[in-house]
Amino acid sequence: MKQNIRLIREFFVIGVVVLFLGVLQTSVWFHWFNLMPSPNLWLPITVFYSINKSYLKALSMIYLISIVVSAVSAMPLALILITQLTIFGALKLLKQRIYWSGTNYLLLSVTIALITWNLTYFLLSLLIEQNSIQRPDLISWLAEILYAPLFSP
């Protein structure tokens, strides 16, 4: 019983944190930094759960993060979920091939997750959406990747 309460509390706290980070990314960021592209502030949480937790807990958290992020962004839930699951798979493959403990591995994983996020989002947008991305914003994507280490732990 105590373990279930702890699990529910963890999911609630992570959901609130992701909601806060999503609001910060989609609304507040543009008031503070104007045209500078906003980073995916919630992505390090996805990376952490994908690397360090069991499959069931990581996938459950990915579903929760996808639902919360879709509530504060203009992206459809299906697109966010498929992109998150692609990141999960890429990180699990990376962990099977290369793994070391420490912050450098987390930074590498966040960078790979951002690259996977942008490429998967672009390709799925072309396949799924009616108003797909016509020209990818490479400068914005590069800026996200370059200052991702500032926002990941």
Q: Residue 114 carries which side chain, given as an amino acid letter?
A: L
Angle between helices 103-128 and 77-97 (to 10 degrees): 140
Q: Got the DSSP string for 88-137?
A: HHHHHHHHHH----SHHHHHHHHHHHHHHHHHHHHHHHHHH-SS--SS--
pLDDT in tens, 4-32: 899 899 999 999 999 998 888 888 877 88
pLDDT of 92 higher than 90: yes
pLDDT of 104 higher than 70: yes
The pTM score is 0.86
Question: What per-residue confidence (pLDDT) applies to 13?
Answer: 93
Question: What per-residue confidence (pLDDT) applies to 103?
Answer: 82
Question: What per-residue confidence (pLDDT) applies to 59?
Answer: 94
Question: What per-residue confidence (pLDDT) applies to 153?
Answer: 63
pLDDT of 102 higher than 90: no
